[in-house]
Amino acid sequence: MLRIEGLTTSYGPVRALQDVSFTAERGKVTAVLGANGAGKTTLLRTVSGLVRPDSGSVHLGEHDISRTPAEAMPALGLAHVPEGRGVITELTIAENLHLGGLGRGRKVKAGDLDRVYDLFPVLGERREARAHTLSGGERQMLVVGRALMAEPSLLLLDEPSLGLAQRITAQIFALLRDLVAEEGLTVLLVEQNARSALSLADHGVVLNLGRVVADDRAEVLAGDDQLRHAYLGF
């Protein structure tokens, strides 16, 4: 589904990613783990076209998307939920969702929003409220719902659990699990909270200082004591 080969990205003189290669399988959850500054967010930003790589390639299915600008990604079926939630707080909940739907490149019908309201009833109750009135957990629901509006085949999630109560994280992870199982969604999940990420993921990639240091099935990573102590902190 997503094939990354030899990806190198820098910010000015700073190398943020160096020769990163791995594959995220269709219909699976792949977790990208690592400490702060390991290059996880840069990886997602490079994949979704916000940052241009110096070298290397990113393939989405058959498409080479390593030079595709970010705004063209939703039409290719890629949705990126950025770190820090990325709710547009000045817009209403309905407007945020509507905007997500526009990414597919066709008209949004009123019924399209109902699917998200079914998934997250709390959003449905307050659809005309401005998004800045939402709590952290509700914002996370909104951005996931907004990403789903574009009917993506690949979902990039950046630190969805950051700052959220355990209960809400679990709720969102459960939803992701359903979507993957029922609709064949592919998920690339960046997490600092390695334990809960590995509980959801099928596969894991560990980054350290911009390089891949481990790439294996989730159970294998979770079972590797040395790796856990060195990079995953649990």
Partner 1 sequence: MQQLLNTALGGLTLGMVYAAFALALVLIWRSTRIVNFAQAPMAMLTTFVALTVIDAGYSYWIGFVVALLAGLALGAVIERFVVRHVEGGPEINAVILTLGLFIVLHALASVVFGNRYRSFPAPFGIRGIEVGETTIGLTGFGIFTVVAVLVVMGLLVALFRFTDVGLRMRASAFNPEVARLLGVKVGRMLTLGWALAALVGSLAALLIAGGSLVHPGYMDSIVVYGFVAAVLGGLDSPLGAVVGGLLLGLSLSFVSGYLGSELVALAALGILMAVLLLRPGGLFAQAQERRV
Partner 2 sequence: MKQRLARVWDASAGRHLLLALLGLVVVVLVVESVSDFRNVQLAALAYLGIAAGGLTVLTGLNGQISLGHGALMAIGAYTAALMLQDGEPPIPLLGIVLVSMLVALAVGTLVGVAAARLHGPYLAGATLALAVAVPGIALRFGETLGGEAGLRVRLPDIPEWVLDAAYFVTGSELTRSSYVAYLAWLVLLVTYVLLANLSRSRVGRRWRAVRDDEVAAELAGIGLGRARVSAFMVSAAAAGAAGAVMAFAVRLAAPSGFTLTLSLTLLAAVVLGGLGSLTGALVGAALLTFLPDVVTDAGRSAGLGDIRAAELAPLVYGLVMVAVVLLAPAGLVGTVRSAAARRRARSSRSGGGTTPDRRTTHTDAAPTGAVPTSKGDVR
**Binding region for partner 1 (CB under 8 A):** 48, 50, 69-75, 79-80, 82, 86-91, 95, 98-100, 102-105, 107-108, 146, 150
With CB under 8 A as the rule, give the number of residues binding partner 2. 3
* Binding residue for partner 2, selected from 20, 32, 51, 205, defined by CB under 8 A: 51
To the nearest 10°, report the CA torsion of 75, 198, 117, 97: -30
Give 69 or 163: the residue with its C-beta nearer to partner 1: 69
* 80: β partners: 156
- In degrees, rounded to 5, the angle at the alpha carbon of residue 26 between the alpha carbons of residues 186 and 194 is 55
Give the strands of the sheet with 203-208, arranged side by side.
78-81, 154-158, 186-191, 29-33, 203-208, 211-217
Give 91 or 119: the residue with its C-beta nearer to partner 1: 91
Q: Closest distance between partner 2 and the C-beta of residue 107, in Å? A: 25
User: What Rg, from alpha-carbon coordinates, does the chain have?
Assistant: 17
Q: Which residue stretch of 45-53, 114-122, 123-131, 217-225 sits at the interface with partner 2 (rule: CB under 8 A)?
A: 45-53
The letter for the amino acid at 208 is N
Is residue 26 within the footprint of partner 2 (CB under 8 A)? no
